[in-house]
Amino acid sequence: MKVAVVSDDGTTIAAHFGRAQGFVVYTIENNSVTAKDWLPNTFTAHAQGHSHGDHGEHGHGMHGHGPILMALADYDVVISGGMGRRAYDDLAQSGHRVVITGETSVERAISLYLAGQLADQPQLHCDHHGRGESGGCR
C-alpha cells in the first residue's frame, strides 16, 4: 500500500491539498513503513502560483484535477489537513481513500493511520470556490 501525506515541509501536514509544496510518500508492507520519500507538487495550479480561476476546466478532466490524479494514481491513501470538496470527490472517485485530519504531524498521522486510529474529519473540507477563502481551511 502507498500513502501520500500532504505537506509543505515534510514534517507538518498542510492545511490545503492543492496549495501544498508536496507529499511525504510512504510504502507500507505488513502494516509497517518500508520506504519514505518526497514527491514535490508540480501538478496543481495553486502550487504553480495560479489563482482559482486559472485551474477550472482545462481539458485535464475531473474539474482540472487531472494532473494531480495522475501523479497520485499509484497511491491508495491521501492524508490532508483540508481540501476542496471537488478535489476530495475526484480523489475518492479515482479509488483513493481520502482522510482529512486535524492532526498536524506527518509522522504521528502515519502512526495513527497504521494503528487504525486516524479519524477522518470531513468537516475540514475547504469551501473556497465561490464563497471566499475561509470555509474549512485552517
pTM of the model: 0.80
Under CATH, to which class is 2-117 assigned?
alpha beta
Q: What is the mean pLDDT of residues 129-133?
A: 41
Going by C-alpha positions, the residue among 44, 9, 46, 45 that lies closest to residue 24 is 9
Higher pLDDT, 57 or 25: 25
In the prediction, which pLDDT does 85 show?
A: 86
**CA gap 8, 19 in Å, rounded:** 9
Instruction: Note whether 68 and 43 are within 8 A (CB).
Output: yes
Domain boundaries, the chain: 2-117
In the prediction, which pLDDT does 126 show?
A: 61
The share of the chain scoring above pLDDT 70, in percent, equals 74
Sheet arrangement for strand 22-29: 32-40, 22-29, 2-7, 77-80, 97-100
pLDDT at 76 over 90: yes
